A = this chain, B = another copy of it.
């Protein structure tokens, strides 16, 4: 083992000395940390006091980088060569089986979620409605609020005590995972459990939140669990999946899972694929597109089958509903230039309000972060408080709203009684309806359906829509960040639809478009303004509403909204990723990184191993620092001069040490010796946080004095850059290939053959800014 400064001209003799240098800033880096080491990145950001705060539970957990590089060491090569055609076919086939299976499970879970919500929330609304009919208004309010508070408290308790990582949308975490950041327990089985049941309880509690984000997270968790071969902790394991125990295959499967989540939530299979592609993943290839597509196809078929099954009334209050959630049929919009201008205006306003939404979400999340850090009880109290506020607003505002006489020429029922319906009776006399109650005292899905509904131009007046919009917009902001699984889609669609309908109603006769269509366009504008997605939102809205004729208008409004909002801030998910301090690698390096070279950001001292190293040195090094990858040097007598042999991973080192493949003399043993004790599968990547730890090793003094041959586990082809490579180009390489480590080699000869290692951390603008304050302006 050798510890050296960068750029020292002469190679040290590879005599094994225990490392005595103090822990450098480098060895403290979170990215390399396997355990409880601090993360200076977050500490460095501490100049801004609030930026230290991250949402529920994210900050307290270690983060690990993922490695999408194929570690081509002898073990891998031997394993790969020994696989017969059948095994390769099995592997390929299994990929597909797993992807389809993910679709099946996510489809079932999504539908279960749907049925549960419809039944719980439906029962609650039915109860309230019945009490209202009996004029027992106070009891109705108490029952309504009581149900909400109990459901909210249950959801928050699940979240706070079992899986804090399940709070929030989950899309930012999945996005970060697919960028290469594995935050602790983000895909754990407990998170999955809480995500499913917390989401059901949260949505049923009448919060202004959606089940879409949580469904994406659920899909990713399901995929992760299946790809990992079940969960050992819960006794659900199978071993035939062992070939998938690597980051690359796991990532692909999780992408399928995320797509399946959207497909199940919106019943939008194509939209799911596009959402995964546009918003969630950082890498993509054509084969994955197809696999994701098959997953969502399975979801669509499962949903279709179950919906058919439920039509016969087997699913309780879940009865109607088709594959299209908000069918706008083929309402033909013939639009004029004035309409286009109105739509453009809607786009601009949507963009502005969307950007404002993102800004406020960020502020509120920071405050909530402070509150949530005070403990689980505080989380529950906060959640209950928001629930009380929501209930009071919904019931109180409806109560204060005037009763409107039913329109005379209506085909449907008015006033409608029961859990859903477009013209709610609430406290009104016969022949009248309460417009606000039609929106507030319905499930969110029904409220959206009412807003989108056509031929009901006069149903919702300006004041109704304004009240509803303001309430939903504010409550949406207040709700995201409490300790329940909460999606952002529904609040944004609700605000957008009410805003759009408001604009449509205000414009009145100026525009010939139906207010229902304006509501749809408003929802598109808000989605464009907050989430900044284009193609996927477009397709999801098409699949939600089944109105293809609106496509040009939806595209127009999305483009305008996104363009306007992009002038102010980033998309909401990206913003949350940043706020959580997750080291997300952007697709494009900051342009100022062109002024730096790779060697500039490498910090010493570098720790390397000799290709045949003393066991004691390896163990001590592993114990004393948290690095995850170590360059291996080929040194005399194995080569004429020191040269870079490759890169060895901590996890592989631990397995090799555990296998005790040691020799008394400093000689090569080779891969055959390794395979006498270990199988290739022993080197497969363990689940998050489940691998061997250095403290698990129990080596004798005698063993510590022996040698271990690192050749069989050394990745002989690590990606390298020359030290004077532009940092921007190095970043491109690092991100494009999904690397975890990149070796920096010297430009001039006669120096130690490796200058340092670049990791994700070294490409973070914040880190570079701290190193070179003059190069990268804030």
A residues apposed to B, CB below 8 Å: 69-70, 72, 77, 80, 269-270, 273-274, 277-278, 284-287, 289-290, 293-294, 296-297, 300-301, 304, 322-324, 329-330, 534-535, 538-539, 542-543, 546, 548-549, 551-552, 555-556, 559, 562, 587-588, 591, 594, 597, 639-641, 643-644, 716-717, 719-722, 724-726, 728-729, 732-733, 736-737, 745, 747-750, 753
Contact = CB atoms under 8 A, between A and B. Distances in A.
A643 B559 contact: no
A748 B719 CA distance: 16
A736 B729 CA distance: 13
Contact of A729 (B539, B588, B719): B719
A725 B645 CA distance: 11
B539 A543 contact: no
B720 A587 contact: no
8 contacts: A69-B729, A274-B535, A287-B587, A289-B535, A297-B559, A300-B552, A719-B729, A736-B737
B726 A535 contact: no
A552 B587 contact: no
A261 B555 CA distance: 17
A329 B285 CA distance: 34
B644 A300 contact: no
B717 A720 contact: no
Contacts of A304: 552
A25 to B, nearest CB: 26
A288 B135 CA distance: 58
B726 A737 contact: no
A733 B729 contact: no
A725 B274 CA distance: 35
Contacts of A748: 639-641, 643
Contact of A539 (B539, B591, B725): B539
A555 B717 contact: no
**Centre residue among A290, A294, A300, A726 by max chain B CB count within 10 A:** A290
A551 B753 contact: no
B297 A556 contact: yes
A70 B729 contact: yes
Contacts of A72: 594, 726, 728-729
Nearest to A727: B717
Given A716-B726, A720-B720, A643 B270 contact: no
A312 to B, nearest CB: 13
B726 A733 contact: no
**Centre residue among A80, A286, A324 by max chain B CB count within 10 A:** A286
Given A284-B284, A289-B535, A546 B70 contact: no
Count the copies.
Answer: 2
Contact of A534 (B293, B534, B543, B546): B293
The 5 A-B residue pairs whose C-beta atoms are closest, nearest first, are A297-B555, A717-B726, A736-B736, A300-B552, A717-B725
A644 B273 CA distance: 45
A293 B559 contact: yes
A419 to B, nearest CB: 26
A301 B747 contact: no
Nearest to A268: B551
Nearest to A566: B290
Given A552-B323, A556-B301, A736-B737, A644 B722 contact: yes
Contacts of A736: 736-737
A559 B555 CA distance: 28
Contacts of A551: 269-270, 300, 323, 543
B549 A324 contact: yes
A77 B273 contact: no
A639 B749 CA distance: 11
Contacts of A323: 549, 551-552
Contacts of A641: 748-750
A273 B559 contact: no
A14 to B, nearest CB: 16
Given A273-B535, A329-B330, A539-B539, A737 B747 contact: no
A424 to B, nearest CB: 29
Given A286-B587, A289-B278, A641-B748, A300 B555 contact: yes
Contacts of A269: 551-552, 555
Contacts of A753: 749
A534 B300 contact: no
A720 B719 contact: no
A289 B562 CA distance: 13
A538 B304 CA distance: 17
Given A594-B72, A737-B732, A753-B749, A548 B546 contact: yes
A716 B721 CA distance: 12
A211 to B, nearest CB: 21
B539 A290 contact: no
A535 B297 contact: no
Nearest to A730: B717
Given A534-B289, A551-B270, A552-B323, A749 B747 contact: no
A286 B278 contact: yes
A776 to B, nearest CB: 14
Contacts of A644: 722, 747
Contacts of A278: 286, 289
**Centre residue among A551, A733, A737 by max chain B CB count within 10 A:** A551
Contacts of A587: 285-287
Contacts of A597: 717
